[in-house]
Amino acid sequence: MSIELSKCRICESSNITDLFDLGEQPLANALVYPVLPGQLNVSEPKYPLVLVQCEDCKHIQLKHTVTPEEMFVDYHFHTASSPRMVRHFASIINKFLPKDGLVVEIGSNDGSVLEEVTNNVGTSDVRLLGIDPSRNLCDEAFTRKVATHCAFFSKETAQGVVGLYGKAKLVLCANVLGHVPDLNDFVAGLKLLLADDGLLIIEVPHVLELYDRLAFDTIYHEHVSYFSIKCLTELMNKHGLYVTCVEKQEVHGGTIRCHIRSHGGNGWSVIPDILREDIVNLDWHYFEVQVGLLKYKLRSALANMMLEGKQVVGYGAAAKAAVLLNYCNITTDLLQYVVDCTWDKQGKLMPGTHQKVIAPEKLWDILQQQAGPEVMLILAWNHAEEIVRKEQNKYPNTTFITPDLITVQARAQKD
Ligand code: TYD
């Protein structure tokens, strides 16, 4: 079910304008089971996907909300599939680890980040707790021996957690806030959870990066908000939280990391960043034209490669892959397979466009050729270097490209 927005998710104004319409799209993480011949094909629900902006506070968000239970209760992204991500998020917690007290990761996924942190905690009095709504991921976290509270984070969840474990000295909330339909309730929960002298670290994709990189494939139903520093700061301030520092990060295609505290006002370093931001004057018509051009070039390139008899496979059955394939109408006539290392995606089909998802080690059998595919189209482009570094030894003759048709060469050094 999807519900059309009647007021802005931050300031509650009803003064909202359309920016970019991606049409009716399936849920980007809803991979489908292949049907046997003779069985009826199950119809996949599709929902409108429209980016809008609040004319008052300027927050950029989706026009429709799909019920979170439909998207997150059974979730197929496992942080463990990207050791680089695990190291990245564990290093944030390790850097600010208090001497004692509660450390919470909201959106703790399969527990792999907190598992990595455990090694650093040793015998100190620090207690680690994950919070995540997905049952399948919480089960995985338990097998990693990571204490996890299985729930959507909200003011009510925060009250329960504080009652059981006390307030938190450090809270990490990375790549979560963009998924939250009721922002004001969620942030009220953060305020409640954070100890008076506690540090809250929020990492979110930066909307300017989405615009500059033409990352239209990061727009999907799960991501209801696309943050600027200005809007994030105003949201925090509304709930008595203050942004003391903003850092830009390269990870996940360009994110902002904010340090947030319960008092003291916004830090000076935040102000110049907000002043440099220009979310008011972004030309979304230009964006739409450029996306149309990317679609045309990518489709033409795939069609030409097919005519030349080249074998092309997609890499990364990410949500952004589903958006790209559906928006560009790349069905199995142009691309047959998508490789992904996540075991519970393998054997299923991409939502809407139905490419079969296969394990990296199965590729040899399927292609039945020694040289491997001529081209790998890296759909999970935020992991491009990590993927190329991993695969180029196996496939030395393969060209790795991203959807904008840029060839990726992995740098030799590790991050
Ligand atoms: P993700 O980064 O979560 O993108 P999105 O938010 O758009 O879903 O997903 C990356 C996908 O790529 C995930 O399914 C795992 C896969 N992957 C591999 O198959 N091999 C790899 O080496 C890496 C890094 C990721």
| Residue 170 φ then ψ, to 5° | -140, 130
378 C-beta closer than 6 A to ligand 1 = no
Nearest atom in ligand 1 to the alpha carbon of residue 339 is: 19
Spacing, Cα 380 to ligand 1 middle (Å): 6
Chain position carrying tokens 């040289």: 371
Where does the pLDDT of residue 69 fall: very low under 50, low under 70, confident under 90, or very high at 90 and above?
A: confident
Instruction: Extract the tokens encoding 408.
Output: 């990726």
Q: 156-165, 264-273, 348-357 — which is least confidently predicted?
A: 264-273
Cα separation, 299 vs 293, whole angstroms: 10
Cα separation, 69 vs 125, whole angstroms: 35
| Residue 206 φ then ψ, to 5° | -90, 125
Tell me which residue of 60, 132, 142, 130 sits closest to 102, measured CA to CA.
130
**Nearest-5° Cα angle at 325, 138 to 37:** 80
323 C-beta closer than 6 A to ligand 1 = no
DSSP for 90-156, please give it: HHHHHHT--SEEEEEEET-TTSHHHHHHHHHHTTSEEEEEEEES-HHHHHHHHHTT--EEES--SHH
Cα separation, 195 vs 365, whole angstroms: 55
Mutation pick for ligand 1 pocket among 27, 31, 81, 408 (CB with most ligand atoms within 8 Å): 81
112 C-beta closer than 6 A to ligand 1 = no
Cα separation, 359 vs 60, whole angstroms: 36
Over 80: is that where the pLDDT of 143 sits? yes
Residue-wise pLDDT tens digits, 364-406? 777 766 677 999 999 999 999 999 999 998 888 899 999 999 9
Spacing, Cα 379 to ligand 1 middle (Å): 9
Over 80: is that where the pLDDT of 82 sits? yes
The pLDDT of residue 196 is 96
Other beta carbons within 10 Å of 393: 7
Spacing, Cα 192 to ligand 1 middle (Å): 33
Contact 313, 376 (CB under 8 A): yes
Cα separation, 130 vs 172, whole angstroms: 10
Helical ranges in 155-217 per DSSP H: 155-165, 183-193, 207-212
Alpha carbon nearest to ligand 1 atom 13, residue = 318
Where does the pLDDT of residue 412 fall: very low under 50, low under 70, confident under 90, or very high at 90 and above?
A: low
Tell me which residue of 66, 76, 17 sits closest to 340, measured CA to CA.
76
Residue-wise pLDDT tens digits, 170-214? 999 999 999 999 999 999 999 999 999 999 999 999 999 999 999
Alpha carbon nearest to ligand 1 atom 19, residue = 340
The pLDDT of residue 413 is 47
The pLDDT of residue 368 is 67
Over 50: is that where the pLDDT of 64 sits? yes
The pLDDT of residue 366 is 78
Where does the pLDDT of residue 146 fall: very low under 50, low under 70, confident under 90, or very high at 90 and above?
A: very high
The pLDDT of residue 123 is 73
Q: What is the mean pLDDT of the chain?
A: 92
Task: Give mean pLDDT, residues 303-321.
Answer: 95
Task: Give mean pLDDT, residues 63-84.
Answer: 84
Over 90: is that where the pLDDT of 21 sits? yes
Task: Give mean pLDDT, residues 23-40.
Answer: 83
Where does the pLDDT of residue 358 fall: very low under 50, low under 70, confident under 90, or very high at 90 and above?
A: very high
Mutation pick for ligand 1 pocket among 82, 252, 324 (CB with most ligand atoms within 8 Å): 82
